[in-house]
Amino acid sequence: MHRPRSIRPLSCLRPHGFSSFIHRDFHLAPPFLLDDYTPRYQLLSSIDASKKRSSSYAHLRNCNLCPRLCGVNRYERTGACLIGAETVTVNVIAPHFGEEPCVQGHSGSGSVFFSGCNLRCVFCQNHDIAHQKKGFNLTPEDLGEWYMKLQTLGNVHNINLITPEHVVPQVVLSILHARDLGLNIPIIYNTSAFNSLKSIELLDGLKDTTSKRLLKVDRYTEAAMESIKAMHAQVGDLCFTPDGIAKKGLLVRHLVMPGYETEGEEIMRSVAENVSRDVFVNIMEQYRPDAHVGKPKRPRRAARLKSGDKSETSELVRYPEINRPVSEREISAVRQSAEKAGLWRFCDPPRHDGFAL
């Protein structure tokens, strides 16, 4: 019987003193398994680090960090995100256990929830901090020292920067400062993907893992796909160390929206065809009506509705089309479309005691 080509004996066990031997097949580690890992920011030369510091200050003087391209000098005034240049506003810094198993592990992900956002999604699940400046102000140096506290006191697996698109220069400065203090765990750039390519370029060499929430907003799809492709070119597909913790690569999150499963299917096909069929995907089902969704319409508009104005919808609440939870059918449709497109690495619950690789 011929042995399948995909299975090759890598080692034979020859008990000492025996003329015969027992052989055992060993498989090469998959390309997504790392024996060891050094964070990318540790590999930056002092010259490259200096260049990134200079670029960070330049971006703040003529802000082009997202597709809005406000162009404001953030040392003098703010743009759409409402955040200036000297500090960032942070709502929470703490070990977090609400992420994917490969991200949070057993000690938690060192999450930094930034206040403010360059988007204004009507259904935002974190609207209480994203739509307003709410929290405490930190300089980049303060922020880097918090990373060290998360590493040394929290023993977290990574530093997880949540919604940092509008503070990329300060984030860059904070990572470089923390590196000088001894930071040695991966950096996750946990983004909505509404970035400019300039900000992705500024982050090159600093982040290790990138996580995206794909949203349906004006000009979002084009900007998001450009960002995803650029980030994949920088960090590749998601890879793990043997303990099941993600160390480098791309993780795409897609929040399934009620009534928008067709768009979700198109996104899955686009990721498979334009990025990689080996992208690690989390198809998220936790959408719920929030922020402005389901709120009563303004009195004047509601009065027109009651008077029979046919130019308006018959609903008396805002955004009625997404004012419900997502259904199992919609989630299943997106998942099936992803599999049909050739995607196969999903964030599913493990069928054993351990992590899903």
DSSP string, 198-254: HHHHHHTTT-SEEEEEE---TTHHHHHHHHHHHHHHHH-B-EE-TTS-EEEEEEEEE
Residue 149 pLDDT more than 90?
yes
Band (145; pLDDT cuts 50, 70, 90): very high
Please compute the mean of the pLDDT values over residues 282-287 and round it to a whole number: 94
CA distances, 167 to each of 117, 138, 241, 338 (Å): 9, 12, 30, 32
Is 124 assigned a ligand-binding role in the annotation? yes
Band (18; pLDDT cuts 50, 70, 90): very low
Band (132; pLDDT cuts 50, 70, 90): confident
Please compute the mean of the pLDDT values over residues 262-267 and round it to a whole number: 92
pLDDT tens readout for residues 92-104 = 999 999 999 999 9
Rounded-to-integer distance, Cα 258 and Cα 214, Å: 14
Backbone angles phi, psi at 115, to 5 degrees: -90, 150
Residue 196 pLDDT more than 60?
yes
Task: Kindly report which listed range (51-55, 217-221, 265-269) carries the lowest average pLDDT score.
Answer: 217-221
Please compute the mean of the pLDDT values over residues 297-307 and round it to a whole number: 59
Residue 352 tokens read as 């054993």
Rounded-to-integer distance, Cα 227 and Cα 32, Å: 22
Rounded-to-integer distance, Cα 87 and Cα 143, Å: 9
Contacts of 152 (CB under 8 A, 6+ apart): none
The secondary structure of residue 33, as a DSSP letter, is B
Rounded-to-integer distance, Cα 357 and Cα 355, Å: 6
Rounded-to-integer distance, Cα 246 and Cα 243, Å: 9
Pairing of strands 136-138, 88-96: antiparallel
Band (12; pLDDT cuts 50, 70, 90): very low
pLDDT of residue 122: 86
Residue 19 pLDDT more than 60?
no
pLDDT of residue 216: 41
Residue 199 pLDDT more than 60?
yes
CA distances, 139 to each of 59, 66, 143, 172, 173 (Å): 16, 21, 6, 12, 9
Residue 311 pLDDT more than 50?
no
pLDDT tens readout for residues 201-234 = 999 999 888 766 544 445 778 888 999 999 999 9
Residue 4 pLDDT more than 80?
no
Q: SS3 of 82, please? A: coil
Percent of the chain with pLDDT over 70: 82
Rounded-to-integer distance, Cα 145 and Cα 139, Å: 10
pLDDT of residue 151: 98
Residue 117 pLDDT more than 70?
yes
- pLDDT: which is higher, 264 or 298: 264
Band (66; pLDDT cuts 50, 70, 90): confident
pLDDT of residue 17: 39
Is 121 assigned a ligand-binding role in the annotation? yes
Is 347 assigned a ligand-binding role in the annotation? no
Residue 60 pLDDT more than 90?
yes
Residue 357 pLDDT more than 80?
no
